[in-house]
Amino acid sequence: DVKVTQSSRYLVKRTGEKVFLECVQDMDHENMFWYRQDPGLGLRLIYFSYDVKMKEKGDIPEGYSVSREKKERFSLILESASTNQTSMYLCASSLMGRGSTEAFFGQGTRLTVV
Amino acid sequence: QQQVKQSPQSLIVQKGGISIINCAYENTAFDYFPWYQQFPGKGPALLIAIRPDVSEKKEGRFTISFNKSAKQFSLHIMDSQPGDSATYFCAASMLSNTGKLIFGQGTTLQVKP
């Protein structure tokens, strides 16, 4: 069974704090994603990584950065948290191309910035 | 710029009815169109997917209809059940590239008993 594990289900952080969201997958997938989920806006791609140390900006990268030092781990960093970054964050992983790109998602991290 | 547009935002259907959710895309390079289902408190999970070389794919009560010339695809849920109540997302990807998935805005489906 593919497993994508996000380090926290719920987080409360203060404005201006540096926030780290961690994601680990156990299926040797090349691709890893960070999405943000907001009502009415769906899943918006923040960053995408297709290999170790490789990253690509998604639709809404502003205020975020990522790190992928190992294949199984993809971290999302909020450099200086703001209230408009209060949201549900979802990590996913998938194989690169090759017939299907079924993405497996973690349970999500609900982040509240106060 | 929203590359995948999904409608309606919410849908209420009676048990036994047909639920229909529509998506439209802009990038003709997309070559893989999955639908994901999300229950409250869970991450989305793949429900059914289609490639553009076929116009329809059916898995049980779930059917994807695909119209390449119109750049549209839709999910039909036949004989809708209360257990189908969830949020549904369409998505698009380029398998020929890295496989990055772009999602629609989501549709919250409620099936009334």
The Cα–Cα gap between A43 and A87 comes to: 11
**Which residues pair with residue A11 across a beta bridge?**
A111
Q: Give CA–CA dist B79/B29, Å, rounded.
A: 34
Share of chain A above pLDDT 70, in %: 94
Question: Which has more confidence, A111 or B28?
Answer: A111
In whole angstroms, give the CA distance from residue B96 to residue A111: 34
Whether the per-residue pLDDT at A29 is higher than 70: the answer is yes
Taking the C-alpha atoms of residue A37 and residue A109, their distance in angstroms, rounded to an integer, is 10
Cα end-to-end distance, chain B, whole Å: 38
DSSP state of B61: T
User: Collapsing DSSP states into helix, strand and coil, what is residue B13?
Assistant: strand
- List the single best residue of A43, A52, A56 to mutate versus B (max B Cβ within 10 A): A43
Nearest beta carbon to residue B99 from set A43, A59, A94: A94
Q: Which amino acid is at A44?
A: R
Strand partners, B14: B112
Query: Does residue B1 surpass a pLDDT of 70?
Result: no
